[in-house]
Structure 1
Amino acid sequence: MTIQILLIDDDPVVNFIHSRIIQDKFPDHPIFTFQNGLTAIEYIKQNPHYSYLIFLDINMPIMDGWKFLETIAEDETKYDLQIHVLTSSLDPEDKSRASNNKQILSYINKPLKSNNLKDLLKYK
């Protein structure tokens, strides 16, 4: 199964920087960026045959990261998802909520660093 990397963050500059970091480390994986959770869910639903490595921001307009997780959980068994929260949030409540969510594999503070990636990509 082909693995796609999804960056879901409302800041296009952050998406650009993070996609470059990931691309340098893993050039064989296609990377797609989305500026809110809703467009990412629509993409996943239209392309269910891929495995997804997802870097998800929490605070976004239209659909934030928490609503994305809640919505995707409704169809969780249909998709192969590896979700990592990638956020600038320092709110202890966000960290606690993430650690109690079985969908989330890790909570990473921005910016993403290339040395974090080898441990995160179980699908290499």
Structure 2
Amino acid sequence: MDKEILLVDDDAVTNFVNQTIMESKFPGVPIKLFFNGAKAMQYILENPTKHFLVFLDLNMPIMSGWEFLNTMETQKDGLHIEIHVLTSSIDPRDKQNATKFPLVSSFMAKPLNESVLDNLLTDKIKKYP
């Protein structure tokens, strides 16, 4: 099975920075960028055999991170997906609400921090077949 990292954020600069960090930490793991949840969801559903690590912003046009999470919960059967919320929100209610979704593994504040990424994901990337 293939593994991929999906960066889902409407901010091109944030995606560039996050992609650069990811590429240095996980060479050889494909990284795909999506600027809204709808495109990311379509891609995931069209590739059900892949393993996905998704870094998801909450506030985006077309399909927000919240809408993405709600829809993925109804579509998750048979999928291999783990979601890490990566947001600029400092509202504690957002973190509390995000943890109610079983697919959400963590809630992180932007910008992505290399040491947090090291601690959080090194084992997760390596465990996928």
Q: TM-score, normalised by structure 1?
A: 0.95
The letter for the 1-side match of 2:23 is Q
Q: What is the CA distance between 1:62 and its match in structure 2?
A: 0.5
SS at 2:125 equivalent: coil
**2:41: which partner in 1?**
41
SS at 2:63 equivalent: coil
Unaligned 5+ runs, structure 1: none
The letter for the 1-side match of 2:99 is S
Q: What is the CA distance between 1:100 and its match in structure 2?
A: 2.3
SS at 1:74 equivalent: helix
* 1:1-124 equivalent positions in 2, closer than 5 A: 1-121=1-121, 122-124=124-126
CA distance in 2, matches of 1:63, 1:80: 21
Identity among equivalent positions (%) equals 48
CA distance in 2, matches of 1:83, 1:58: 12
Root-mean-square deviation (CA, aligned residues, Å) is 1.0
CA distance in 2, matches of 1:35, 1:28: 22
Unaligned 5+ runs, structure 2: none
Q: What is the CA distance between 1:48 and its match in structure 2?
A: 1.2
Q: TM-score, normalised by structure 2?
A: 0.91
